[in-house]
Structure 1
Amino acid sequence: MPRTLLRAASAVLLTLATLNVPVAHADEADPVAVTVNARAALAPVPETGIGTNHAIWDTQLGNDTTADLLKDAGVKVLRYPGGSYSDIYHWADHTAPGGYVAPNTDFDTFMRGVRRTGAQPMVTANYGTGTAAEAAAWVRYANVTKDYGVKYWEIGNENYGNGRYGAAWEADDHADKSPAEYARHVVAYSDAMKAVDPTIKIGAVLTTPANWPDAIVADGDTGSWNDVVLAAAGSKIDFVILHWYPGSLDRTGHIPDMIDLTRRQIARHVGAGSERIGIAMTEFNTGSNTNGTNTQPGALAAADAYATLLANGVFTVDWWNVRNGIGTVTQVEGHTDYGDFGLLSSGTCTADGSVCEPAVNTPFAPYYALQMVSRFARSGDRFIRAATDEAKVTAHAVRRPNGDLAVMLINTSSDTSYPVTIDYSGFSPASGAPTVLTHTNGATSITESATGTATGQTLPPLSLTTLVLRPSSVQAGLPGAPGQPTVSNVTDTTATISWPAASAGTRPVVKYEVSRQNGAVGEQIGETGGTSVTVNNLKPGTRYTVNVIARDGGGGTSAPSAPLTFTTGTPASSTCSVRLTKQSDWANGYVGAIDITNNGAPINGWTLTFGWPRAWQSLGSGWSAVWTQSGQNVKVVNEAGNGSLATGATATVGFVGNYSGPNTLPSVFTLNGTVCTTR
């Protein structure tokens, strides 16, 4: 979206929410149970995980103080030249017609700051008013002439915001503003840029699931933006680009489905080898002035989102932005929130001069959130499952290559200090006080101490706390981790899981154990002496994430394999079959049609049932049947005129489905108690 010093235009697209925090007192708080499972591995922590955006209208972009502050925060990716300015910026003469370009913000100055920060650059080539030749010349200058080694190149910014779907904030001089036209140019840009440097990585812009205009099909298009772009350009790209401004501080639960749906779209359109395509979140901000854009609640939400996105395999999350400027001024949790989307103060004032930000380069609370995440999750670590039994407290954990473990705990309560008890699976912490990193409401630094125990801590209100733990002992000679598992022959109730053998330690490997992740609890679902096992008794239409560990003859166990995620289907044959299709979609609701076919004996009276996969989905209305919803369960009962289904007959019913998060469609339907085949 267009960026001046404020991202005000995006506000019309955001849903603002408030934190409803019940009043409690510290002495009333029950202990929170935290579970950490070192055998339930998630994604590895990438070198490029922590990032932010630089903009060419920021007069402080190139100074050493900025670079040093970002380095201290652990920033490893710097994106340039700044949001929608990317689609009006011409690098060769450092101009952006229609926008403001500050002095000392040219590409070479940016790269000097990148190197001082110790980060990698992420450069957005001009699609809106540029050409493939211009982008290729930029690659030549950067990587041949100057030897900067710029690896990551995006093609345009939020190019779906070019008016194709109604709203227009992104510059686009192309007469054809369709996703097909964008995809054609992505191919041309990729070919031209890789002809100069074949080692670079090219990224294409996608819409973020459940965020406008995701899933909308414009007149004349063959599908949604993502469907068209991936189908036409998927073979030419190396990563896809998402932007997310959730507008609320409680949307982290959307992330696993958001990334899963994106992965499914990539796999569907790219096919074999699609796993090579990475996912980058090159703009992220909590996007909520009322809840605290630059005060502690926003910082807590940022830390939670960064950790969750990276644990789900996103290779970079880039905060919008280093500096942004003063916006709507409010008081949040005892501190002034300047409505500023930046990490660092720009020192600007309101139009009437009544309120001014602190001095330039003063860090806002989200700065410390990024700093905490960078100290908690380091390149080479691997995320592992962690969970709590209290909604106000969230937990994340990583295992370090040397066997250490780190746990990040987030207390979002305004007024309750929560005691926590931590239980570990697959890890025995050393006795004594662990290293504890803490950031509290209004603090201007992260404190470090040795306090509490590995199994017991107290979390101050509105705080980030990281524990760094040593194992009680280091056992030598254990097996190596099994290789990346794969899945085949997936049915409604079974799947065959295979993996490369683990390397033996001082004793031979005698068996492998396959465990399912159920939250932070591991449930063993199979074991074998070989490197493949068929697991049974799975549930139809269910997403499973599993890990494999090797066990040697002395009972020693390996680190877990990388995770494998797959989804079971429905019965290959049944007395009924169902087809769900979307007739139209407007990014927070859709019209659906369900075809119900009787494959068995004639039926006189039927009831179809299914469940919404997520709590943010609901039934708006339905027709051609009697529709009711209880919790997440939906019941559809025939009307008087369509209750009889002869063998082979089909009844069609329709509904409006509402959603406020990633829209994973129902996949399991029962007809008169029988699970149907979903077509």
Structure 2
Amino acid sequence: MRLRFVAGAVAVLAASAGVGALAPSAGAAATVGISVDAGTSLGTVPSSGVGLNTGVGDEHMGDAKVTSLMKAAGVRQLRYPGGSGADDFHWKTHTMGNGGWIVPNTDFDSFMATAKKVGAQPILTANYGSGTPQEAADWVKYANIDKGYGVKYWEIGNEVYGNGHYSNGKGWETDTHADKSPKEYGKNLVAYAKAMKAVDPTVKIGAVLTTPGGWPDKEKAPGDSADWNNTVLSIAGSSIDFVIVHWYPGGKSTADLLNTPSKIAGVTAELRSLIAKYAGSRAASVEIAVTETDAEFSPVLTSQAAALFAPDTYMTWFEQGATHVDWWNLHNGSGEAPTTVHGETDYQDGGILSAGTCAGGRCEPPRETPFPTYWGIRSLTALAKPGDTMVKSSSGNSSVAVHAVRSSNGGLNVMLINKSPKNAAQVSLSYAGFTPAAGAVTTVSYGKGDTSLTTAKRGTAVAQTLPPYSITTLQLKPASGTAVADKPSPASTPTAAAPLVSAAGKIGSRAQAENGAPVGGPTPNGSTSGPLASTGASSAVTYSAIGGLLVIVAGGVLVLRGRRRRGLHGK
């Protein structure tokens, strides 16, 4: 069971669910200037970048309708066995050490069958909390030697820093080690890597880090000589292949949430600095994986603001160099009564598909109905495919986000996200390194209240009107007779981390608010922490590479978020 203590959470959800600070006042809004530099590369779209969490409490993950929806949404990676439960899950017996909730059809082989149907590569979380290096090595042997699955990416534990080391022994993460310090985790991480690579040298091992800017980042418990990240990497930096963070930026309002992707550059800059410090000559090859993210700790989970947040978050992480981003969750279930956000029902469900559950006397839509968050993620299929080149773009106003991708056929796709819940946005676009064809352009859009993506001819390459709270992707062809631009050159690498404090306070992983650490407030110790794929079946994945219970305590009131409860999958 995972406990969350968020100061004032009930008041925030009640008072700010309808707040939209990004919305301009009545009257015509100024035209927003959008610039696209098709000649400056931000890297290629990762082959398995768009990921999703799945768990051993979800017996419907392999249903035909579910796998079809995941595939259509361009999901290229599935994480298993799911969140904090991973640190108590024993894969051989398909059991939880504490007798936790596990359902049929979710054993490892069943999960792999699901991944194959979706065309997604797996990323597995080895049991650090109550497991051993030998248990993990046996899993590698079974997966890659006995069964030939070729599982490449292996996390060592989930949110291990939540084991109580920083909160007087009261944590949410299972850890049966007598010593719960980062030093012990680093030492054991090396042992896991050694045992697992002895079985299959090609596997990649991931280290759990605290998210820069989020609790318990920079904390030192009694007896520690350094914080979690510096301690772990100083010991295991030469033994790992990727680092893991969880991104739950939250926000007191929908506007706060929608502005948080701008903080990702600072987070990745700090992570890269840490990797360079401890991985030496291997630093460039050490990947960054965001294995959990969603709109948790904000007023929304399923309604339109969360749908806008999703593609902006995925793309910003990719543009900053992350190779994997996994949304929480496939199915989750509602643990508290639905709310109304900007005139729309928000079911307070962390899943992208409805689990058909009820809370507060109100029920979700029928099982497997896609929530807006699903369509936000699926919008990415109109923007890019694995291997396409992300290029530099910028917006003259934070109320409109932009991402641009050079496609393999020589075209240019531009995603525009209007964050205003009330007003349309007029945008004017300019281009460098690409001359778009004249005339109306193909757009793929998703707006408030829509139940599908809409493809139409609308506007031009230089002028568009974006509906309120919408995602619009322009699919541009080069002008006739123009030469295809040279391969974009790399953008300069950021040299300093951007500030990590938003209007809502500190940002980072869900752990910032776990076990007595309120967002942006005092920690338990009393201190303050200051692929994308098309809807078709192209770009097939080769099997050679790569969600817990939630309770918020706010002012003494328990608020159930529905992390892996019995009711969460319609049981």
TM-score, scaled relative to structure 2: 0.82
Cα displacement string for residues 148-171 of structure 1 (whole angstroms, at most 9, x for unaligned residues): 111111000000000010050000
Q: Residues 59-458 of structure 1 correspond to what in structure 2 (within 5 A)?
A: 59-98=59-98, 99-166=100-167, 167-248=170-251, 249=257, 250-290=259-299, 292-328=300-336, 329-350=338-359, 354-458=361-465
Cα displacement string for residues 103-162 of structure 1 (whole angstroms, at most 9, x for unaligned residues): 111111111000000000000000000001100111111111111111111000000000
Amino acid at match of 2:191: A
Residue 494 (structure 1) aligns with: none
Contact 1:24 1:415 in 2 (8 A): no
Contact 1:289 1:339 in 2 (8 A): no
Contact 2:166 2:216 in 1 (8 A): yes
Contact 2:266 2:500 in 1 (8 A): no
**Per the alignment, in what secondary structure is the counterpart of residue 95 of structure 2?**
coil
Contact 1:184 1:233 in 2 (8 A): yes
Taking the aligned partners of 1:108 and 1:12, their CA distance within structure 2 comes to 42
Deviation at 1:394, TM superposition (A): 1.1
Deviation at 1:293, TM superposition (A): 0.9
Contact 1:74 1:375 in 2 (8 A): no
Deviation at 1:617, TM superposition (A): 9.0
Contact 1:617 1:657 in 2 (8 A): no
> Is there any run of 5+ residues in structure 2 with no aligned partner, and where?
252-256, 504-526, 531-571
Deviation at 1:234, TM superposition (A): 0.9
Evaluate the alpha carbon distance shift between residue 324 and residue 150 of structure 1 in structure 2; reply closer, same or farther with a 3 A threshold. same
**Per the alignment, in what secondary structure is the counterpart of residue 238 of structure 2?**
helix
Deviation at 1:566, TM superposition (A): 5.7
Cα displacement string for residues 11-31 of structure 1 (whole angstroms, at most 9, x for unaligned residues): 569897753144545x61222
**Per the alignment, in what secondary structure is the counterpart of residue 312 of structure 2?**
helix
Taking the aligned partners of 2:319 and 2:118, their CA distance within structure 1 comes to 24
User: Cα RMSD between the aligned structures?
Assistant: 2.2
Taking the aligned partners of 1:254 and 1:245, their CA distance within structure 2 comes to 12
Amino acid at match of 2:147: K
Cα displacement string for residues 60-83 of structure 1 (whole angstroms, at most 9, x for unaligned residues): 122222111110110000000000
Deviation at 1:279, TM superposition (A): 0.1
Amino acid at match of 2:374: Y
Which protein has greater RCO, CA pairs closer than 8 Å, 6+ apart? 2
Deviation at 1:380, TM superposition (A): 1.1
Taking the aligned partners of 1:617 and 1:453, their CA distance within structure 2 comes to 35
Higher CA-based Rg: 1
Deviation at 1:376, TM superposition (A): 0.8
**Per the alignment, in what secondary structure is the counterpart of residue 105 of structure 1?**
coil
Taking the aligned partners of 2:482 and 2:400, their CA distance within structure 1 comes to 33
> Is there any run of 5+ residues in structure 1 with no aligned partner, and where?
479-556, 569-611, 619-655, 660-679
Deviation at 1:308, TM superposition (A): 0.5
Residue 563 (structure 1) aligns with: 491
Alignment length (residue pairs)? 491
Taking the aligned partners of 1:148 and 1:441, their CA distance within structure 2 comes to 41
Residue 521 (structure 2) aligns with: none
Evaluate the alpha carbon distance shift between residue 617 and residue 109 of structure 1 in structure 2; reply closer, same or farther with a 3 A threshold. closer
**Per the alignment, in what secondary structure is the counterpart of residue 565 of structure 1?**
coil
Bigger mean CA offset, 159-168 vs 31-40 = 31-40
Deviation at 1:432, TM superposition (A): 2.0
Identity of aligned residues (%): 46
Evaluate the alpha carbon distance shift between residue 160 and residue 474 of structure 1 in structure 2; reply closer, same or farther with a 3 A threshold. farther
Bigger mean CA offset, 312-321 vs 333-342 = 333-342
Taking the aligned partners of 2:176 and 2:381, their CA distance within structure 1 comes to 40
Residue 507 (structure 1) aligns with: none
Deviation at 1:657, TM superposition (A): 9.9
* Structure whose residues are more often helix by fraction: 2
Evaluate the alpha carbon distance shift between residue 436 and residue 171 of structure 1 in structure 2; reply closer, same or farther with a 3 A threshold. same
Evaluate the alpha carbon distance shift between residue 438 and residue 135 of structure 1 in structure 2; reply closer, same or farther with a 3 A threshold. same
